[in-house]
Amino acid sequence: MIKSSVSYAMIHEAVLNACDKLDGVKDGVLENPLNCHFDPLVLLCKGADARDCLTAPQVELLQKTYQGPVNPHTGKVIFQGPAPGDELGEMYSFATGEPRPVAQNMYKYFVFKDPNWDWKTLNWDSDIDLALKETGSMLVTDPNFKEFADRGGKLMIFIGWVNYHNPAQLIDFYKDAVKNMGAGKAATSLRLITIPGTFKETLFDKVAVIEQWVEQGQAPNQILGTYHIDGKVRTRPLCAYPKVSQYRGTGDTDKSENFVCGEPGFVK
């Protein structure tokens, strides 16, 4: 296992060294983790185990953590693991050897309705599908918002990249919603905002954004976000997917006016 906070800090630093400059500025935040192809193998110890490297089993564990849980019989990925850059968040909870309480309680009380259910008896070939079926009324799993859009509805979805749930899952959901709604309707009715870092530390006026969209027809293609990190204030444009915030190349990197929403991989 990788239990030490020092180890996760070392891993996080390695991820930033590999990917932080992809948006044009090294600032400790990955604007688009989808562009980060960090390989934990670079941290493999060359000799004895040390504080600045990982053993072969730890490297394998980290690779599997990023990948997400896999059905051991079929090889199917159940859901993606945490995104690169989330090493100081809840990544440790993926590899403690114990289930997360919220997941365990869902299976106990909603899926099997048995408070004594033992998570070690999970049947990968049937229980995942059963869970989706039994919790369907609690989860928004149907990406068909066509009727909603036909009535003029406006839906803004937002999520932070530093989050227990990898936003890549929500991106897939969004793509399905666009397909079902139709590109034309989606252009006026649907937006996905993926927020660098965590939305818990990022402020923006959600009500005002929706009001402008509904009352003035101004879709939220770019939103001013304010970060409060370690007593420091930073503003950045929060971009509608698939665009991401990119540094213009000059000016204060804590000011949003020095960034532009561009296509992934674009650096001015």
Q: Which residue has the higher pLDDT, 164 or 217?
A: 217
- Rounded Cα gap, residues 171 and 185, in angstroms: 18
The model's confidence at residue 259, banded by pLDDT at 50, 70 and 90, is very high
Q: What is the pLDDT of residue 205?
A: 85
According to the model, what pLDDT value does residue 103 have? 87
More confident: 200 or 224: 224
- The rounded distance, in Å, linking the Cα atoms of 156 and 159 is 10
Write down the pLDDT at residue 228: 79
What is the Cα Rg of the chain in Å?
21
pLDDT digits (tens, 9 = 90+) for 129-154: 898 888 766 666 789 999 999 999 99
Average pLDDT score over residue span 122-132? 89
Distance (Å, whole) CA 11 – CA 26: 17
CB 16: neighbour CB atoms within 10 A? Answer: 20
Q: By three-state DSSP, how is residue 117 classified?
A: coil
pLDDT for 253 equals 87
Residues 98-113 pLDDT 10s: 888 888 999 999 999 9
Task: For 66-96, write each residue's pLDDT tens digit.
Answer: 998 888 888 888 888 889 998 887 787 777 7
24: alpha, beta or left? (left if phi > 0; alpha if psi -120 to 50):
left
Q: Are 199 and 226 in contact (CB under 8 A)?
A: no
Q: What is the mean pLDDT of residues 118-132?
A: 90
Question: Is the confidence at residue 258, as pLDDT, over 90?
Answer: yes
Q: What percent of the chain has pLDDT over 70?
A: 92
Q: pLDDT value at position 185?
A: 93
- Tens of pLDDT, residue by residue over 20-56, are 998 888 888 888 898 899 999 999 999 877 788 999 9
Q: Given this model, what pLDDT does residue 4 score?
A: 62
| pLDDT at res. 267 | 45
pLDDT for 90: 75
Q: Where are the domains of the chain?
A: 5-94, 101-134, 146-262
pTM of the model: 0.81
> What tokens were used for 96?
């403690």
Dihedral, CA atoms, 128, 130, 133, 139, nearest 10 degrees?
-40
Residue-averaged pLDDT of the chain: 87
Task: Provide the pLDDT for residue 266.
Answer: 46
Q: What is the pLDDT of residue 25?
A: 85
Residue 51's pLDDT is 81
